[in-house]
Amino acid sequence: MLKIDNLTKNYGSFPALKGLNLEIPDGALHGFVGPNGAGKTTTMRILATLMKPTSGTAYVDGTDVVKDGQKARKLVGYMPDFFGVYDSLKCWEYLDFYARCYRIGAEERKTMTRRLLELVQLEEKEDEYVDALSRGMKQRLCLARSLIHDPKLLILDEPASGMDPRARAEMKGILRTLREMGKTVLISSHILPELAEMCDSLTILDHGELVFSGSVEALNDKMNGNAPLDIRLTEGCGEENVEAAVRCLKEMPAVTEILREEPYLLRIRLENGADVCTDVLRQLVMKGVPVSDFHRAPMNLEKVFMEVTQGA
Ligand SMILES: Nc1ncnc2c1ncn2[C@@H]1O[C@H](COP(=O)(O)OP(=O)(O)O)[C@@H](O)[C@H]1O
Ligand SMILES: [Mg+2]
């Protein structure tokens, strides 16, 4: 559905995008993650034909967004990160106005407006002024607007930013519906966990460069090799047991770091790629250390993000 081909964008002499390549299959719900200034909005504005790249191009369903903007605009629905809403309009009028811009007939506009408001769970707000909506509702209204011309690809720039957990859950529901409708969605955020829970696949961008692209599971796997091991000793087993455990771990060359997280919880790191978990456990048990729990610490996605973007 989307193929980004060696895309670059310079603002003056500042390179905001440095040769981005990316492919997203039909029907994917793809997250676009990166810290502020990574180049997410720049990429999305180019895809929405609002800006020309410095070089490279992108194809939406085979259409070149740079050379054939007119056709591309029919295929792409774009929800910007900062959007204006006309406050003096009622919700239905707002959508009706945009539907007119797409030259949609009166009868069709009526049914479409209602259907879209339903989709974004604003049907009860039909006759309310846009002004009176909460931020989350305005975001959803804007999402409805981006769907008016029934685009195949939806580009949502930070739609969940500033949402409370409830609003985020609603957004997740809407995204699922969009997927059922067969849409392909590219959705950005600077918060990795937020996207990891909504998307099937992710691209991580940092300083205009791709640092990771693949499934959420692949990202976890990539990082889990480095995940620390948590070793819990029986609560209250005494200082001498903790000391014995630390002494034992220090003797093992593959153990690169030992942290005492809690009185009876040790967190260790192993040399990159060292597959010595069973050995660590065996040694501890042989020394009589009362191990009550032994597992890979779950990777905090925020940490994964910090680690993946560290070098770039
Ligand atoms: N119109 C502009 N003029 C100059 N620099 C810009 C402009 N828009 C964005 N930038 C710079 O380009 C980089 C990428 O910005 P942006 O695409 O908005 O990133 P993101 O959406 O990931 O936060 C940032 O360093 C930003 O300051
Ligand atoms: Mg942005």
**Residue 259 is part of a domain; what is its CATH number?**
3.30.70.100
**Pairwise CA distance, residues 258 & 160, whole Å:** 38
Q: Are 227 and 296 in contact (CB under 8 A)?
A: yes
Length of the chain: 312
* 13 CB near ligand 1 (under 6 Å): no
User: How many CB atoms are closer than 10 A to CB 269?
Assistant: 17
**Pairwise CA distance, residues 45 & 37, whole Å:** 14
> How many angstroms does the Cα of residue 36 sit away from the middle of ligand 2?
6
The pLDDT, as a whole number, for residue 244 is 96
Q: Which ligand is nearest to the CA of 38?
A: 1
Total of domains in the chain: 2
- Do 239 and 141 share a structural domain? no
Counting ligand 1 atoms within 8 A of each CB, the residue from 41, 44, 161 with the most, and so the one to mutate, is 41
**Pairwise CA distance, residues 22 & 212, whole Å:** 10
* 11 CB near ligand 1 (under 6 Å): yes
- Do 57 and 154 share a structural domain? yes
Q: Are 299 and 224 in contact (CB under 8 A)?
A: yes
Counting ligand 1 atoms within 8 A of each CB, the residue from 8, 11, 45, 155 with the most, and so the one to mutate, is 11
The pLDDT, as a whole number, for residue 223 is 67
- The answer to whether residue 246 is domain-embedded is yes
Question: Which tokens hold the place of 69?
Answer: 């903007």
- Do 272 and 137 share a structural domain? no
pLDDT string in tens for the chain (312-residue length): 999 999 999 999 999 999 999 999 999 999 999 988 999 999 999 999 999 999 999 999 999 999 999 999 999 999 998 877 777 899 999 999 999 998 899 999 999 999 999 999 999 999 999 988 888 888 899 999 999 999 999 999 998 877 788 888 888 888 889 988 999 999 999 888 888 888 989 999 999 999 899 988 788 777 666 678 899 999 999 999 999 999 999 999 999 999 999 999 999 988 876 678 889 999 999 999 999 999 887 666 667 777 776 654
The pLDDT, as a whole number, for residue 310 is 63
- The answer to whether residue 50 is domain-embedded is yes
- Do 27 and 78 share a structural domain? yes
Q: Are 134 and 183 in contact (CB under 8 A)?
A: no
Q: CA torsion, points 50, 143, 172, 165, in degrees to nearest 10?
A: 100
Place of tokens 């905090």: 300
> How many angstroms does the Cα of residue 157 sit away from the middle of ligand 2?
7
pLDDT in tens, 181-207: 999 999 999 888 888 888 989 999 999
- Do 284 and 193 share a structural domain? no
Q: Which residue lies with its CA nearest to atom 27 of ligand 1?
A: 37
Q: What is the largest CA-CA distance in the chain?
A: 81
Which of 44, 57, 72, 71 is CA-nearest to residue 6? 57
Q: Are 311 and 267 in contact (CB under 8 A)?
A: no
The pLDDT, as a whole number, for residue 82 is 80
- Do 195 and 166 share a structural domain? yes
User: How many CB atoms are closer than 10 A to CB 257?
Assistant: 11
**Which residues span the domain enclosing 77?**
2-214
The pLDDT, as a whole number, for residue 30 is 96
Q: Which ligand is nearest to the CA of 33?
A: 1
- Do 281 and 158 share a structural domain? no
Q: Which ligand is nearest to the CA of 36?
A: 1
* 39 CB near ligand 1 (under 6 Å): yes
- Do 72 and 18 share a structural domain? yes
The pLDDT, as a whole number, for residue 297 is 74
- Do 172 and 140 share a structural domain? yes
- Do 51 and 11 share a structural domain? yes
- Do 207 and 83 share a structural domain? yes
* 298 CB near ligand 1 (under 6 Å): no
Residue type, 222: K
